[in-house]
Amino acid sequence: MTLLPDAAIRIRRMRIDEDLDGIGAVDAASFTNPWTRDMYLWEAAHSDVARVFVAVHDEAGIVAYCAVWVVFDELQVNNLAVLPAWRARGLARRLLAEVFRAARDEGATCATLEVRASNAPAIALYEGLGFVRTAIRAGYYTHPVEDAWIYWRHDLDPVELA
C-alpha cells in the first residue's frame, strides 16, 4: 500500500458553506443511494453529536469524507467514502485514524458501524482495523436489498497506519 504524502492531503471537519458539493461528488461516485444535501445540513445542525470529516487535497479538493456520531462513550461510523481514483492508497485508514483520535479526545471508548454484506473492500478495511462482526440485520439496505453486517470495536486505540 502506498501512503499519501502528508503535505498533499489535510483532514479537517466539514465546513457546511463550502464542502457540500465536494462531499456530494464523493457520495455520488460511491453509493447507489447517496445522502442528500438535506441530510448533511441535518448533520451540521446537530453538532452536539454529528461530526463530518473531509480529506482535502491541495489541488483536487475533497477526495474522501467520513460522517460519524459521537454519543457519550460510543463512536458510530455512519458513512465513509473515497473518490474511486483515490482508493487503495491508505486514505480511508488515515481518515479513520483521525476520526478515532478526535472521538477519543471527546471521550469515546468504542466504535460501531454497519456495512453491506457484499462490500468486500469495506469489510476488509474494518476487520483490518480490529472491528468484529457481532450481528446481521436482515434486508436492512435498499437499492439493492441486502443484509447489513454490524461491527464493533471495543477500544479506540490508535490505528496503525504503516
Ligand X SMILES: CC(C)(COP(=O)(O)OP(=O)(O)OC[C@H]1O[C@@H](n2cnc3c(N)ncnc32)[C@H](O)[C@@H]1OP(=O)(O)O)[C@@H](O)C(=O)NCCC(=O)NCCS
Q: How far is the CB of 88 from ligand X (least distance, A)?
A: 5
Nearest approach, Cβ of 59 to ligand X (angstroms)? 18
CA dist., res. 27 & res. 64, Å (int): 9
Q: What does 21-53 look like in DSSP terms, one character per residue?
A: HHHHHHHHTT-SSPPPHHHHHHHHHTTTTEEEE
Nearest to ligand X of 102, 119 (CB atom)? 119
Which residue, 20 or 112, is less far from ligand X as judged by CB?
112
Cβ atoms within 10 Å of 117's Cβ, excluding its own: 16
- Cβ closer to ligand X: 45 or 160? 160
Calculated CA dihedral for residues 148, 29, 82, 62, nearest 10 degrees: -140
Q: How far is the CB of 6 from ligand X (least distance, A)?
A: 15
Interface residues toward ligand X, by CB under 6 A:
1, 30, 80-82, 87-93, 115, 119-122, 124-125, 128
